[in-house]
Amino acid sequence: MNSPAPRYFALIPAAGVGARMAADGPKQYLPIAGKPMLRHTIDAFLSSERISHTFVVVSSDDGQIDSVAPRDGVSVLRCGGATRMESIQNGLQAMAGTVREDDWILVHDAARPGLNGALIDKLVDEVGAHPVGGLLALPVVDTVKRAAGDTVATISRDGLWLAQTPQMFRFRLLRDALAAASDAAAITDDASAVEAMGHAPMLVEGHPRNLKVTLPRDIEIAAMYLAAP
């Protein structure tokens, strides 16, 4: 008997506070282009027929998510942790009864509202049946400088990429990689945990519109991309 085809699930960790935004509340609820940032992120996955279901991880005392997340196609998991990595681990544990070990999990930052269905499809199509998985990323095109005290040096940008999300790995691999991470501070994204196990994820060229909103000035840039077709 043939095994069922792997499915695709979105997992959005959204339990952070966004301290660098200097806002009155969590940055994922700041309005951009007429609706909360997190709703743009959720809507990107809802627009893709490839995604079977979307899970959003929030803190247990989040009082805003119920007015932002739609009821259809989205499950809210109130198990957010103190760190992004902990929130993802808690989310995976909560999803365990729903997903199979070979299903694909697309982990995406709540603060990347510029994601769209075309980028999701590109990631899914190009990763295909890759044995590890992959992520959206942008090749570095600017000259790169390294500053150390009073010393400044130019380093080669050859082979350098800026990681984006979604980062797509099979449920079992992602769960095991995060569980095996001995130094949480060294795991800056999901791919770094997978790399620490000796695997090489595939890099799929993304788009500047998929920027991460980190500082107040990023909101205007994100709104510009969201206004574009």
Q: Say which CATH architecture domain 8-227 belongs to.
A: Alpha-Beta Complex (3.90)
Note the pLDDT tens digit of each residue in 46-90: 999 999 999 999 999 999 999 999 999 999 999 999 999 999 999
Tens-digit pLDDT profile for residues 133-152: 999 999 999 999 999 999 99
Q: How many CB atoms lie within 10 A of CB 144?
A: 12
Range scoring the smallest mean pLDDT among 116-130, 133-147, 181-195:
181-195
What does the pLDDT read at residue 23? 58
Residue in the structure block whose two tokens are 């788009």: 207
Residue 91 reports pLDDT greater than 80: yes
Q: Specify whether the CB–CB gap between 109 and 190 falls below 8 A.
A: no
Sequence spans of domains, the chain: 8-227
Alpha helices in the chain (DSSP H): 37-46, 84-95, 117-127, 171-180, 190-196, 218-227
Q: What is the mean pLDDT of the chain?
A: 94
Whole-number percent of the chain with pLDDT over 90: 89
Worst-scoring range by mean pLDDT, 22-26, 112-116, 160-164, 181-185? 22-26
Say what the pLDDT of residue 1 is. Answer: 60
Model confidence at 2, pLDDT cuts 50, 70, 90, reads confident
Classify 228 in phi/psi space as left (phi over 0), alpha (psi -120 to 50) or beta: beta
Distance CA 114, CA 111 (A): 9
* pLDDT value for 219: 95
pLDDT at position 119? 98
Tens digits of per-residue pLDDT, 10-42?
999 999 765 555 456 789 999 999 999 999 999
**Cα dist. 99→7, 11, 50, 58, 166 in Å?**
8, 12, 15, 19, 18
